[in-house]
Structure 1
Amino acid sequence: MNAENPQSPPVASVPLYQLKAEFFKTLGHPVRIRVLELLSTRDHAVAEMLPEVGVEPANLSQQLAVLRRAKLVHARREGSTVVYTLASAEVADLLRVARSIIGSLITDQAGLLADLRAADRG
């Protein structure tokens, strides 16, 4: 029994690093990242995302289901249209940080390449 709620089963203790690994695995697909990028700007209907993501509707549906199960996005119906939104603005922050890190890595690699080319000439 859980001490906070005696009727609930005990909660299994999962190390934080394992939860983080599962979280990043969820993000580890280009379509999911693209969807999250789109939703970082505004809510989108599925039909709006299709041309931006460039995959078949069934594939987009599968990836959206993964994001919903991970509680990274929420879906709502507006008539016959399903509209998606980010579950948390922090997801957009994470994508911005990732972009910054990648930019730094690319800059570092460009500097290393310039150094190598200069060494070859010298």
Structure 2
Amino acid sequence: MHTVYLALAIVAEVIATSALKSTHEFTRFWPSLLVICGYVAAFYFLTLALRVFPVGVAYAVWSGMGIVLITAVGWVFYNQRLDSPALLGIGFIITGVLLINLFSKASAG
């Protein structure tokens, strides 16, 4: 269940970060409310995941997957294209998250 909490924390953070641009510097109410609620939910679910996962591992997975997913959101919704070095860097982030989850005993909590 703690993996589900971590996944929910990641999704909530991605939703909140994706909505940041729409807030127009927090001058628009509904997008601003979405950002605030998204970040509150993200941190809440992250605290639940921290019952089992070490802080460093949980944060590495949370931030790494957040970077990858926000990049995908930027590509799809904001037409933000990446060059080869950026794609390589994203690949390294994905590789790091996979290494932690597949081979590290620390990720088991």
TM-score class, shorter: 0.3 to 0.5
More helix by share: 2
Looking at CA atoms only, which structure, 1 or 2, has the larger radius of gyration?
Answer: 1
TM-score for the superposition, normalised by structure 2: 0.32
TM-score for the superposition, normalised by structure 1: 0.30
